[in-house]
Amino acid sequence: MPVISNTSNNGTQSWIVTGPATTQARIKVVSVSNPAVFDTSDANFNIVQSITLTSPNGGESWKIGSTKAITWDSTGVLSVKIELSRDSGATWSTIVSMAQSDGQQTWKVTGPASTHAKIRITALLGSVFDISDADFSIVR
pLDDT digits (tens, 9 = 90+) for 55-78: 999 999 999 999 999 999 998 888
At residue 104, the pLDDT reads: 97
Residue 138 has pLDDT above 90, yes or no: yes
Note the pTM of the prediction, 2 decimals. Answer: 0.74
Strand ranges (E), the chain:
22-25, 28-30, 38-40, 45-47, 50-55, 61-63, 67-75, 79-85, 93-100, 104-108, 114-123, 129-131, 136-139
At residue 4, the pLDDT reads: 86
Q: pLDDT-derived band of residue 111, with 50, 70 and 90 as boundaries?
A: very high
Choose the CATH number for 50-139 among 3.30.1490.20, 2.60.40.10, 3.40.1050.10, 3.40.640.10.
2.60.40.10
Q: How many C-beta atoms lie closer than 10 Å to residue 77's C-beta?
A: 26
